[in-house]
Amino acid sequence: MGSVGDNARVIAGRYRLEARLGRGGMGVVWRATDQFLGRRVAVKEVELDDTLSDAEALLQRERTLREARAAAQLRHPHIIVVHDVVVQDEHPYIVMELIEGGSLAGRIARQGPMDARTVARMAIDLLGALRVAHAAGVLHRDIKPANVLLEEATGRVVLTDFGIAQVSGATTLTETGSFVGSPEYTAPERMSGETTGPASDLWSLGALLVAALTGESPFRRDSIGGVLHAVVFDEIRPPPAAAPLLPVVLGLLERDQRRRFDVAEAERLLRLYVETGRMPSTAAGRAGGQPSALPDGYTPTQRDLPVRPAAGPAAPFRGRRRVLLIAAALVAAVAGAGVSAAALLMGGGGDGGGGTPTSSAPSAPQTTGTATGSPSPTPTVTVTRGNTATPSTPAAPDGYRIAKDRRGFTLAVPEGFAREVDGPRTFYKSPGGTFRIGIKESAPDPGGPLAVQRRSDAKGPENNPGYRDAEITQTTHNGRPAALWQFTWDGFSAAEGARHTYDLCWEEGGRMYDVWVSAPVGKAEESRRYFDTAVDTFMSR
């Protein structure tokens, strides 16, 4: 860390900067001594953007001082104490208490994931800090493991680095075009330029909890484009290690701010877990194929639902994450092609496919609940060059090709699958028809996807010989209501044998879509892989 020398800087005639501790958001942090009071402190030297004009630099400095002074008014045992805010040589400095101990990020890097009870206690402390900050009108905007300090002597958890915090109603750096924060921990509404508030800090806390439980953010990807897409569009599927606190994690990582957990609800569930070792409710979830704790009304996404073939249990197939060609947009941005952040972000009978509408009641068991995500734009990326906008296409996984169907949709199908048409249904079939991928587009149906699948189930025995073991699950797809129907049947001939069908129905863009895969019951894993890939890569016109 360096030694103290005679040339150590003294700012404001009082604070002697002795050793550099590291770099935080927007500045360098120093170990220092308050020579007036004779105590050790931490001093953050805020770096200003040297590309700004004098007037812009003055506004930035004033904003930094105003928000640092607001943070200095916060009093809570789990918020860093700000002692002083000073300016020297036109640079702001924030003087804070010195916490002897490392950050949560360092703790995770050295020792790996933490146990659920420890994480729950830490989350309760941080929620208390946020309650006080939000009540004072201060938003943190950069909650991440690096900004949580763990005091070595006492184990105290301290939220620090309010240096980029925003006072409600104040002008922010983001409004002048610069992104402030850490993308892996940034709420989707901030990514897409929507109004933000206390709920955005709570999203960041949810991502932090996953990182503490599993070792990394749930939105870690190989590129910034991948991170942005994961935050805004991808289905949120925390790893199995997050299962003990999954109700809170999912409640905080709710894309719809109106449905996101507030401080009180998250704290209530966490305290119950600390006291009892259990969350208050359970439901079938995906944690290595075993039940896991889920909040009341939780609806699993289509990919969370377990494989349930008639031939017996099989390990759930995790499948490939949906990948869009965001990299092209990023390369163009780096090359000065004019790609903006907004452009990057806004942008029955037989096997399945529904049956004839009837008023019959469903016979299949159903699981219902509330959607885990909010409606979001169709997951395309628009790359803007001049006045031209070009929607992206999904990337084909290894062994697949992109089928741009003349009926106006696109999806990835395995190499060697051939296209066939049967009335409104489009099929892509393997040689010999062992595997059949079906797609149907239609007008919206009364009652939505769940009602459609219920009616299809009622007609199941009529349309599918030997129809049995049916199950309908209310779920979501791209944040929109959907319904998954899976069943076993005898196939169209004795030679074909028993088959299992996965069928997902959802509404999007004023149309209803149905994608299904049918295969022999003994090939459930391969069938589920084709199904997940078809659904994940499907794009409408």
- Tokens 């209310």 sit on residue: 474
Cα(529)–Cα(517) distance, rounded to whole angstroms? 10
Q: Are strands 366-367 and 468-477 parallel, antiparallel or unpaired?
A: parallel
- In degrees, to the nearest 5, what angle opens at C-alpha 536 toward C-alphas 532 and 541? 135
Question: Which is nearest to 350 in space by CA: 452, 449, 496?
Answer: 496
DSSP class of 523: G
Q: How many CB atoms lie within 10 A of CB 246?
A: 26
The number of CA neighbours under 13 Å toward the Cβ of 216 is: 7
Question: 108 with 40: CB under 8 angstroms?
Answer: no
Distance, in Å, from the CA atom of 253 to the CA atom of 343, rounded to the nearest integer, reads 23
Rounded Cα distance between 501 and 491, Å, is: 10
Q: Do residues 97 and 42 lie in contact, with contact meaning Cβ atoms separated by under 8 Å?
A: yes
Note the maximum CA span of the chain: 92
Cβ atoms within 10 Å, residue 125 = 18
- Non-local CB neighbours of 400 within 8 Å, separated by 6+ positions: 412, 413, 414, 415, 533
DSSP letter for 52, please: S
Q: Does the active-site annotation cover 142?
A: yes
Using the CB atoms, write b or e for 198-207: b if 16+ within 10 Å: bbbbbbbbbb
Chain-centre distance for alpha carbon 137:
26
> What phi and psi, each to the nearest 5 degrees, are found at residue 290?
-105, 160
Q: Report the run of H or E that residue 527 belongs to, with start and end.
A: helix 524-537
DSSP-derived secondary structure letter, 101 = S
**How far, CA to CA in Å, does 214 sit from each of 236, 269, 450, 494?**
14, 20, 34, 48
Which residue is catalytic, options 142, 234, 503, 514?
142
Question: Do 316 and 286 form a contact (C-beta atoms < 8 A)?
Answer: yes
- The token pair at 415 is 């190499």
If residue 476 lies in a helix (H) or strand (E), which one and from where to where? strand 468-477
Report the catalytic residues.
142
